[in-house]
With several copies, the nearest count.
Chain A
Amino acid sequence: MTGKHRSGTPDVLQVRDLACRRGPALLFSGLGFEVAGGELLCVRGPNGCGKTTLLRCVTGLTRPDEGTILWHGEPSHVDPERMRAGMAYAGHLPSLKDDLTAEENLEFSLRLRGAATTPGERREALAAVGLDKRRRIPSRRLSAGQRRRIGLARLALDPAELWILDEPLTALDDAGQALFTELLDRHLAAGGLALAATHHRLAPASGVVRELRLA
């Protein structure tokens, strides 16, 4: 693991001795790391090295073969709902309903996350990602990048402490990438933490950025 010097804050997320095999291959084993508030951990590695698998193990979607995840010092399987309340996951799949508008999609996603937001806030968030004029047409008519931008608005309003992001920059143009970086920056500055798998380079202005290389 490389990166700047660790900050002094306590580690919110600790991963101990994680191992996962897929088919015949052992993707990783004995993997351990910690992430503290204000830190971003970038998971890097070539295609197929297990980045997505690692992220899903941390969320609890995939059951690892070995290892424990500690959330605020407590194993995540003890009270999974507590960890889920504090964690937002954005995977390969968009989780958008094509028939709902951008506005409705945002509303339902946030309600599912237990986040209370006002219509005004949601509208503002959509405007911030450039979807103000298109917030009332069904999402199926949006372009690939516009659909990803709904995800950005969702992140902006989600109060979760930990963000888990798989390829967050896919399909975004330069302006969209800048938007994302700014969001990430704000999140880290406010003491949040993030775990991201990406082939792009992420450089938020604040926060500690570290890298985890998978073989």
Chain B
Amino acid sequence: MYWSSWSDFRAMGGHAFFVWMSYGALLLAVVVEMLLLRARRKRALAAIEEERDLETEN
């Protein structure tokens, strides 16, 4: 283990802002993409339902 303390780790040798902004952005991007993926799947499934309802209505 390279770090001697938790606060050292967080400070990143004084570059905390830049390092954590980068890692944070990646995390955020991945989370957003996962949410979008879920939403898209839900929409696709709902569209199938809707289609079927339309069909039976006719």
Contact = CB atoms under 8 A, between A and B. Distances in A.
Interface string A100-143: 00000000000000000000000000000000110010000000
A132 B58 CA distance: 9
Nearest to A24: B51
Contacts of B58: 132-133
Categorize the interface residue count of chain B.
under 10
Contacts of A136: 54
A133 B58 CA distance: 8
A149 to B, nearest CB: 18
A136 B51 CA distance: 11
Contacts of A133: 58
B49 to A, nearest CB: 16
Nearest to B54: A136
A136 B54 CA distance: 10
Interface string B35-58: 000000000000000000010001
B50 to A, nearest CB: 11
A119 B14 CA distance: 67
Nearest to B58: A133
A136 B58 CA distance: 12
A103 to B, nearest CB: 12
B48 to A, nearest CB: 13
A132 B57 CA distance: 12
A40 to B, nearest CB: 36
B11 to A, nearest CB: 56
A37 B54 CA distance: 43
B5 to A, nearest CB: 62
Nearest to A132: B58
Nearest to A136: B54
A140 to B, nearest CB: 20
Interface in B1-58: 54, 58
A91 B58 CA distance: 33
A25 to B, nearest CB: 13
Contacts of B54: 136
A182 to B, nearest CB: 24
B53 to A, nearest CB: 12
B36 to A, nearest CB: 25
B13 to A, nearest CB: 57
A133 B54 CA distance: 10
3 contacts: A132-B58, A133-B58, A136-B54
Interface of B: 54, 58
Interface of A: 132-133, 136
- For the complex of A and B, list the 3 residue pairs with the smallest distance between their C-beta atoms, beginning with the closest: A133-B58, A136-B54, A132-B58
